[in-house]
Every structure is written in structure tokens, then in C-alpha cells.
Structure 1
């Protein structure tokens, strides 16, 4: 660690800041020292209105965590950061600047370089690389005044630069994140959709982006101190490698002259890194090119669905990495502009694979990270791995943060093989440890049985005073997503879910007991419209742990009638609740035809995607013949009428007894409540609230509970 002297000058082998301005080293001098890079993702960039740094389940970075990054072999830390949602009338909150400084100082105190950027933050800049009329990310007509966006960009960076102007070259600024990445998809080429179905990013839009970068550079250079020559990173459109010629042709002009900027791209070869469902145009790539599967060829990297063969120059292959990074070197590095891969990574496919296939996938994934790091280093490029802290399916995490959810200690290595592959590329010794075998042991091959397979989900909420969600999701590929031939969905399951007390202080805004319910949801059409309907209104009362039951949901059960069932992107089940523990085994999800017959949509031979408080494993199940659907007790039904400022509920009580009605907001806080005596038979209760948005209405009478999600007007 390094200290600050009495006159504000850093003491020790490394200077945190200096009190006098001087010409900082050029980018070409800094690059060789930056080494491997690491992102503290899903933390400082969480918008202020979504909870700030801890809003997406990560703890605020502390000294132990940042030291673990250094000890793992990283020498650069990228700090994605929100600014606009922490500002009022264009002025950044002083407390937020102090919070960001805490993280920056932790990084620099450990002898690393800090790249402080301006991230998405609601899209105030990222989604507004337009001038005049355009289609916004939701497909609606919109108008952008680019001069106002530039003014915000310049104003924020002037404040940031002023605050950090005494810091030395170990602090680097980055103008943006992925400008234009959320451009709308799905239109025709005639209407400007030429980038793989996305709105085109052309020379005119690059001119707008160039001006946004120059607004940042102008603000930094005029702020004084060491900012006159501080390194500033500028981003290619969408940070996509195939868009770098636009950045090269219209590279921003820096008032400091040449040599004090770097260029940024991101590297997520889609089919290998992010794709979660096979499509008619291509499959997911589970296995790295150098470690292919002999039994699952269609999911090998480079598989071409049209030629039924492997393309050795597909995205993510060694040849494509070498070609793309070589072009970056020619366009930028050879001209004195080092390149930063601000984000790179590939998801761990823990739900899709098990046993030997999972092992092959994880081994290949580690080799892929090593190849990217090796080729980046050879071409003068700084690779920064993306890390969000989550350790479930689809994660890219290397260093543990969420110990309250996953156990262990902050700073534990969760992926030794991937880390060691990158360390080898930088001539660093391997760290002792094994991560792949433990994951494979947790996800073993399940032998085929006469009974068949199912998926077992275990639910465990983390907090006791807020609502949490466990999701089972099935992404439907093209050709399999036409549900218009069905009139509903049938789900077969068994299990038990328990809700406990423990949140008893209603004065502090939490309910007096836990609760749980389950909804079927569906996302349809090009706009991914959301529809849902209750499957279990009271999950802890309707499930049977000893035998399977089938539950049917007809389209008429949905609050809004789906109108585009031939374009269903995903279906799934959400378990909502507070203070919930339990396990549910799902045998299948079927479509119900008009004649009453059913056919399988998913029988869970492999794990579906799960998120939130749910974890999954494949299990054997028996007795797959259909049984009579379980009836929902009439007394569990509650009829709700929502009016502006109030909600009225009718329910059937079994006896005359005291009852309580409550409204809970989306984080489980009680926003309205009423104690009353319910009479045997039909009862009506009304609650008033000025709250607007999603909520849960609950009525409790003795051991009987009634619950329904509502949208308050």
C-alpha cells in the first residue's frame, strides 16, 4: 500500500497523484506496462435509479477484492461507471465522485492502471448517436438533439477531469462504452437496417460519434493539471471490430496532439460467447476450435448449418482472431495508437452441458481465453476480461465477490484454468488450483433410464425483506417457436416450497411473513412483449412433494391476450417470493391443442437456463403418463379490480375471523395495509395508495392466504 504525505503528495514507490502538472507518458510508453486487464463489471455502472453499485447483487469493491485482482496477475482494471443517473441538472453528485475515487484509489494503490469510463447508464449517450429523427431502441420514432448530448458529455467530463486532475498516468479516461450497440433491430434494408438486421452505423453517424469523443477530449484537456496529456480511450461504433475502419477514417482530433489516446473495441464472437439458442441460420458454439467434440459436431466452433462443415475462419477461431487483431495493429497500433479490448469473454454453459461434454467445453473455453490474450499481446493490444460477479449459468466470473450467495471468501479464484491460460500468454507461472473438475462433478452425466429425465430446481432467497425471483427459461429457436397451434400450456411438476417468518418489523417496511407464487411467462414478437399468468397463487400450499401434478394455463388466463404466438422468443416459469426455500422437479412443458391433446415443448433432457434464486440439475423421473390436472381451490381465487389510487379485492372466506390485507411493492416493502374482520363467504376489501407500478396484493386470514400481482395506476 502507498500513503499520502502531509502535503497531499503520494509517498512510496508509486505516485497516486502529483501537485504539479507535467507531460505524462505517451500511450505507447504506457501500453507495455498495462498487461492483462480486468473489469469490475455490474457495479459502478449500475444506474443510480437501479440501486447504484450494489443494485445488481455485487458488494462495493473493497481492498481485499482489488488486491485479489492484482494477485491474480492483472495490471489494468477497467471501471465501468455511471454518471448521468448520479447527476442533477448536469451536475454530478459530490458524494458519487467520492465513491468513484475510493475504487480508483484502491486500484492505483495496488500498482495497477485504472481505466475509468462512461458506461451505458440508461443510454443518455450510448443510445443517442443520432441527429434529428430516428428509430429508438424500442422501435419508436424519436428525435435527438446531438448538440444537447455533446453538451452533457463535455460537462460531465469537465467535472470528472477537474476532480482527478492531479492523478498521474495510472488513471486513464474512456469517453464511452458501446455507442450504438442498442440500435433497433428487425427492420428492412430499405429503411436503413443493414448491420445484421440492426440500424446501420454509417459515416454520418461516425461524424456524430467523433464529435462526442472530441467533446470529452476538449473537456479533459482544458481542465488543467495532468489532464493536458492524460491518456483518453475512444471507442469504435458499438466497439465492434468490423466497425473499426469507421473510427480509423474519422479518428477524433486531440488538442494534446498525437500520442495521448488509445482506441477501444470489444470481443464477444456471438455464437461462441453469448448465443443461448440454436437458430435456423446457425448454432451455438459450445466447443473451441482446437478442442472439438466428436459426438456433438453441430455445436463445434465454426459449424456452418448450410454447408454442414466447419469454417476455420468463423468468429472466434484462431485464424479469425489472428486476422482481426492483425488489422487492429495495422490501423491503430502501428500508428502509435495502442488498442484496448475493453471487454472480452465467453459464457460458461453450465445448464446446457454436463459430464464429459461440459468438461470439454470448459477446457476449450480456457484455451480460447489464452489464445485471445496471446494474440492480443503480440499485436500491441490490452485485453480486459469481463467479470460480473455471478457464478451461475452463463457467467464469466474469475474472482469471487458474492460470498453471501456462493460461499467462500472475497477474492477466491473461481476459474483457475481460464486465468492460468491467460497468465501463460503473459509468461506468468500457473497458480495451483482446479475449477473444471468441481463444476463437472456438480453437473455429472445422467444415464438414460426408462423413467426419463426432468429438471430439479432449488430455490433459496438471499434477503428477508425484499422480493426475489427464480427463473426457469426456455429460449425457443426459429422453427420451434410457433405456438399458434396451441390453446395453452401444460406443466407437470412436484415439490415443496416453504416460506418462513423472520421479517417481523412492519414498522421498517417489511412484511410479517414470507410468501411465494409461480407464474408462467411468455415473451413474444419482435418487441419481446411480456405476458404472464399465475400457475401457483400460493406455491407453499398447492404443491405436492410426493407425486407429480399437471397444471394447465390457457391463453385466456393471460392478463393481456397474446396476439403473436407464431413469434414466441421464450417461455418460462418465475417463482416470486420472500423468505423462500424449496425444491421443485419439472417433468415437462407441453403445448395443449384445441382437441385436448398435448405435445412436448421441452422435456428437460438437458438443463434449461435458470437465473436469480434458482439453481438446477438434471434428475431421473418416473411415471410420465398424463394425470388429471390439479384443481386450484376456489378459496385461493381472489378477484381484483384496480382503479386510480386504489385496489379492491373480493375473496371467499371459510369462516368469520380477523384478516389483514397488504400491498407490497416490487422490493417487498409494505405500502398499504388494513386489518379487518372477514365474514364467512364472499368479502370485499379496498386499499388506497399513491404508489404506481407493479405490486403484490396479499390477504391473510388465519392459515389461508390469497395473493395476486397487480399494476397500480
Structure 2
């Protein structure tokens, strides 16, 4: 390939048409060798700092482990805009990306290098003129964005011009996926129609133009172009308005992502419109069909076959292989225990195996999403965060899922058993005379601000109607302590640490918030050895609850500074007008635990230990999370425009706000109905604060 590079330099672009003899293989020639794909997620796409979301910079041991696991394509989600000044990508960053690309190709794999969300400069602005993004109504110049796209890709392509066909470029990630959820006609979002597809087409063509203009192997390098929002049901728009490639036909691939929501991503509990799917097809307890993905449900065998065969006829049969750039399903470690968790994990493995087999059959390259995290709701298959989870870089954390995919590609199974290990850590406690409870450990990580540990129950079915009660009863025992003193009153916590516990609930379509104090000073008023029963009537709430006939969630928040300790909860009951009570939840399944809270279901006469992971604060920004809202307090060096952004673990924008930060201390608030792990980023010029949060 070196000869081709010299030829291109000597002869220049005037001989572009004559370079066909030196062309790289077409997409249909490369596709059979690409095999199974893997994402180095939550790393190179993190704005400014690739290690800020907990993952180490990819090294030789990690990339070799990817190859040894059976993958032959590695997708490298990558940020560029946040590493650029005045439109020029930092040379050091280009070298850093090159390091990862070289490791992948050096192991004989294909590397797909994309332009990821990257603070939304392109992803959130796939329209021209007036439109809406997460900040509200804005005016966008599609021509300016296309010019920026062309400029960045010209710089990237120049850096990698002499690489052979093992390097593939991808124009974007999920263009338009962050459209506001505003009740619009397109699944609640702003409609993605032909006019918007024309804009997206111009962005893809800007990338293609830039890459081809740099010559060398880039003249015929494979470039991947994305469907609107990378949704399969939007792929007909891409097919009907496919970008024009200066290299001619055969040198592009299409891209979609595949996360069937109820099976893959839904974690906040059942909703009126649908259930959370823990199980899949015949991998089910048999008595829980409501939580089993089967039949024609999105993610079932039938839907996978129909969706993937549609992609085949739409693209592959016309010489355009398709990359499933991201796919996966979270582990419901915080929802299920014991045998139910075992069935769920087997169901996930079966789903992965069937999905990648169907992809292979239909001319698709499946790339699994891997975030590196191993906590509740993770996708991780290959370990890299050894400082947090132990073991060695490259350990396989999900042997069954990996083997199901290897089988689809004719590879031998690897030894090991991940499911039993995971289930052992989340046991199903047998019934005892004392029954079950949930034991929760609280551990704050900062010394100068209040943090929250949450025990939350998402209400379902008849339990949604709390109007038949006059209040709530909680039975609990435990002990928490505050370290005190803090580092000083000037740091915002006063002289000593403190704690308090509130009962909360959310009701109605608006998820209205109501709360009441259960224990004002939890470190002094709780009993470590004996259960106490606490009753809270509706009139005891700070504002009397409304919408009790449609309650969405109920739970307990432990607020405090420098808090550590353990509380065991026996039950939460509803109090009837005649004074009798009935169980709302008796914790035979682990409830949702967030923030500083971690724990598991226990027999009430047991004394099982609980491991608590302590995570250091990601920045000096002070963050307070309340249901539906997160506020950040930070210091700005000057008065200037700023932006606050909330992203979920897939890098999708949840909420965003532009504002002017004043020199000195500032506060910004973002509202969101999203619940679960997220990343909060506040940016003012070159100054950035980032912190992981758990949204409620």
C-alpha cells in the first residue's frame, strides 16, 4: 500500500479516475472478514478526557483481549470537536487516536473510527433554519455544520491516508437521536422527514467529499453512513436518499443501532404502556409471560428476523453491507435475584447469540456495546476497570453471552461460568420465619456537600392506587454515623456532618413530588438492634399528596454529609382508615438503590456482609439531585456563556441548557424525567466540570 501512497503524491488528484487499479477492496469484499464487532465504549468519545468516565486509556493488553475473545472488528467511538481549537483538531489528540487504531489493526482486526456525539455539534442539529434541540427553539445553518464536518474529516483522513482497508471511517453516530421528547408526531419526538434526511445526506456527503479529497487509500476507503437516529425503522429514509460517493458505488456501508427498549434498556420498572422484559423467548420461568420478550414484541425472534431481513433487502442486496454499530441489553442486577436472575442472564445470552447469528445471515456486522462498568445495568463483557472491580485487564465477565456469540460465528466455547458467580453475589434468600428484608449500606464520598442515598419502589398494578390509605408505615432498624467535623463551614457543611431520612412519593402523569420526614437525625434516632415502626400520615407531608390513585413510585431518601452505616428495611405498608395495614412492598425482591445506597435482599435473621463500592468525586463541582431535577454549583473564572448537559450511559443527551455564567460561584438547574445513571457536564469555554449522577 505504500507504493500507492507514493503514486498518489507524485501524480496528484488529476489521476483520480485512473486509481481504480489501486483501489481498496469494496465493502462486500471486506464484509465477510469483519466478523463479530465490539465497541470501546465510554472512552475515546468522552469530551476532552477519555478517562473521565472511569475507563483507562486502551492499552495493548486490553486490545489483545478483544481479539482473543473472538472479535474481529472494533468500533472506536471518538470525539473531535472537544479536542479542537478554532476548527483545528489537536495534533496530540490525533496521535492518541492513532495509538488505539494501531493497536486494533496490529492485532489483525478492522477498526471503525467514527465521529461520536461530541457535545452535539452535529448530532443534535440535523435540520436547517428554525428548529428545536434540547435547549429549546434555535436557528441552525446546515451549511455551516456541513462545512465543519468536511473540515474535521479532511484532517482525520489526512492523518490516516496511508492505512489499508482495515481502517474504516464512520460519518456520525446517532444523528437526531437527541430530538426533544415533546409530544410530536414521530414517536413523541420532532418528526424526521425527507426534508431533514436531505440535511443529514448533506452531512454524510461532506464527510465523503473530505475523505476522498485527501487521496491515497482514502480515495476508496470504506465510509459508514448512518440512518436517522440510527433507528432501523428510519432506514428506508436513508435507502431512498442515499448519499452520493465521489468514489462511485461499493465503498460505503450503512449503519443502524439495535436496543429494543423494553428488553435492552428499560430499568425504571413497568409502565402503563408496557412491561420491563427480563426474560426472552423460551428462557423464562414460565410463570411470568408479562415480563418475557416473545411473540411479535420488539427484540423477539420474529421481530429480529423481520427487521434484519428488511435491512438486507434494503441495503446488502444492493451492494451495501450494514453495520449494527451498537447493540446490547443491560443486566438487571438491581431488579432480580437468585433463580430469577439466573434465568434472566441466560435469556440475555440467548438473545445476544440469536441477534448476532441473524445479523450474520443478513449481511450485517454486529458490534456489541461495552461500557467497562460492571455495576447494576451494565453491558460489560471484557474487564478493564481493574482498580474498581479487581481481577486483570481482559478478564471475561460474561462468558455465557460471549460464547453464545462465538457459536454464531463457528468459534469454540471458552471455559468459565459467569452466571453462577453473578447469582451468588445476588442470592435469592429462602423464606424463613422472620421473612425477608433489604439491607442497605450508605457511604458518601464527599466531605463538603450533602449526598443522597435512595431506596425506591416503582409501583405496579393495583399498588398504584394509594388513595385507599391514610398514610404509610415503615419498619426498619439500623445505624448510620457521620464522621464530622467537615473541613469547615466555608465548605458548605457546617461544623459537623448530619443525616436525615425522608419518605417520598411521586404521583400522576407529571410525577408530582411529595415528601415527609421519617427521622430528622438518623444518626441518633435509629436503633441498631431493634426494629422500630414509624407511621407517616398524609397530613404529615410537607404538602399533602394529590393524585394518590395514580402513584408511580414510593421510597426513602437518606440525606447527609460524611455518612456511613447500614439500615435494614422490613416492609413498607399502607395504613387504612380503620388503623389496619397492608403490605405495599416486603422486599422479597431487591428494590432500586441509587446514589450512596447499595445492598441486597437478606433473611431478617441473617447477618450477611455487604460490599460497598466507593467512587471518588469526578470534579470539584457540587451536585444535588432531586426527582426530576439536578442542580450544579461551580466556580467560573469569568463572566461568559456556558452550557450544562446531561447524558445517559449511551452518550445520548437527556437535557441541555445554555446560560451565562458569572465570575465566581454559579448554580444551574436541569430538569429531566429520565431516571438512572447519567453524566452531568458543565462547560464554559475551555473550563469543564463533569460528574456522574443517579437521576430520580
Corresponding residue number in structure 1 for 2:155? 159
The CA distance in 1 between the partners of 2:215 and 2:578, in whole Å, is: 76
CA positional deviation for 1:245: 0.8
The CA distance in 2 between the partners of 1:155 and 1:560, in whole Å, is: 55
Q: Extract unaligned runs of 5+ from structure 1.
A: 1-8, 188-192, 303-311, 623-663, 673-687, 696-713
- Tell me the C-alpha RMSD between the 2 structures: 4.2
| Equivalent of residue 56 in structure 2, options 56, 59, 63 | 59
Residues 1:343 and 1:588: Cα distance change in structure 2 (over 3 Å): same
| Equivalent of residue 420 in structure 1, options 400, 403, 408 | 403
Corresponding residue number in structure 2 for 1:259? 250
The CA distance in 2 between the partners of 1:19 and 1:389, in whole Å, is: 41
Q: Is the 8 A contact 1:271 1:285 kept in 2?
A: yes
Corresponding residue number in structure 1 for 2:13? none
TM-score by length of 1: 0.74
| Length, aligned pairs only | 608
Describe how 1:269-280 pairs up with structure 2 within 5 A.
269-276=260-267, 277-280=269-272
Q: Is the 8 A contact 2:447 2:487 kept in 1?
A: no
Corresponding residue number in structure 2 for 1:286? 278
Residues 1:204 and 1:522: Cα distance change in structure 2 (over 3 Å): farther
The CA distance in 2 between the partners of 1:24 and 1:530, in whole Å, is: 60
Q: Secondary structure at the match of 2:290?
A: helix
Are 2:70 and 1:73 aligned?
A: yes
CA displacement 1:663-696 (0-9 Å, x = unmatched): x842899999xxxxxxxxxxxxxxx99221389x
The CA distance in 2 between the partners of 1:256 and 1:323, in whole Å, is: 32
CA positional deviation for 1:79: 1.3
Q: Secondary structure at the match of 2:92?
A: helix
Are 2:662 and 1:666 aligned?
A: no
CA positional deviation for 1:594: 10
Are 2:97 and 1:97 aligned?
A: no
Residues 1:137 and 1:473: Cα distance change in structure 2 (over 3 Å): farther
Q: Is the 8 A contact 1:20 1:166 kept in 2?
A: no
Q: Is the 8 A contact 1:591 1:599 kept in 2?
A: yes
The CA distance in 2 between the partners of 1:556 and 1:290, in whole Å, is: 49
Q: Is the 8 A contact 2:623 2:633 kept in 1?
A: no
Residues 1:569 and 1:197: Cα distance change in structure 2 (over 3 Å): farther
CA positional deviation for 1:18: 6.5
Corresponding residue number in structure 1 for 2:232? 241
Describe how 1:386-465 pairs up with structure 2 within 5 A.
386-459=369-442
CA positional deviation for 1:153: 2.2
CA displacement 1:540-580 (0-9 Å, x = unmatched): 55543223456788999999999988876555556577876
Q: Is the 8 A contact 1:523 1:571 kept in 2?
A: yes
Q: Is the 8 A contact 2:448 2:491 kept in 1?
A: no
CA positional deviation for 1:371: 0.8
Are 2:350 and 1:367 aligned?
A: yes
| Equivalent of residue 295 in structure 1, options 287, 294, 298 | 287
The CA distance in 2 between the partners of 1:116 and 1:537, in whole Å, is: 53
Describe how 1:420-569 pairs up with structure 2 within 5 A.
420-459=403-442, 470-476=453-459, 492-498=475-481, 540-541=523-524, 543-549=526-532
Q: Secondary structure at the match of 1:30?
A: helix
Describe how 1:525-674 pairs up with structure 2 within 5 A.
540-541=523-524, 543-549=526-532, 570=553, 572-573=555-556, 581-589=564-572, 601-611=584-594, 614-621=597-604, 665-666=621-622
Are 2:121 and 1:124 aligned?
A: yes
TM-score by length of 2: 0.76
CA positional deviation for 1:47: 2.6
CA positional deviation for 1:146: 2.3
CA positional deviation for 1:128: 1.7
CA displacement 1:614-637 (0-9 Å, x = unmatched): 433112348xxxxxxxxxxxxxxx
The CA distance in 1 between the partners of 2:82 and 2:577, in whole Å, is: 50
The CA distance in 2 between the partners of 1:691 and 1:566, in whole Å, is: 42
The CA distance in 2 between the partners of 1:419 and 1:274, in whole Å, is: 19
Residues 1:250 and 1:360: Cα distance change in structure 2 (over 3 Å): same
CA positional deviation for 1:279: 2.3
The CA distance in 1 between the partners of 2:7 and 2:561, in whole Å, is: 55
Are 2:170 and 1:196 aligned?
A: no
The CA distance in 1 between the partners of 2:484 and 2:110, in whole Å, is: 47
Q: Is the 8 A contact 1:509 1:670 kept in 2?
A: no
The CA distance in 2 between the partners of 1:113 and 1:505, in whole Å, is: 54
CA positional deviation for 1:156: 2.3
The CA distance in 2 between the partners of 1:33 and 1:197, in whole Å, is: 39
Q: Extract unaligned runs of 5+ from structure 2.
A: 9-21, 606-619, 625-631, 636-661, 670-696
| Equivalent of residue 106 in structure 1, options 89, 103, 106 | 103
Are 2:667 and 1:693 aligned?
A: yes
Corresponding residue number in structure 2 for 1:26? 26
CA positional deviation for 1:237: 1.2
Q: Secondary structure at the match of 1:53?
A: coil
Corresponding residue number in structure 1 for 2:656? none
Q: Is the 8 A contact 2:622 2:634 kept in 1?
A: no
Q: Is the 8 A contact 1:389 1:397 kept in 2?
A: yes
Corresponding residue number in structure 1 for 2:341? 358
CA positional deviation for 1:77: 1.1
Q: Is the 8 A contact 2:41 2:76 kept in 1?
A: yes
Q: Is the 8 A contact 2:457 2:553 kept in 1?
A: yes
The CA distance in 2 between the partners of 1:167 and 1:578, in whole Å, is: 54
Corresponding residue number in structure 2 for 1:171? 167
Residues 1:565 and 1:693: Cα distance change in structure 2 (over 3 Å): farther
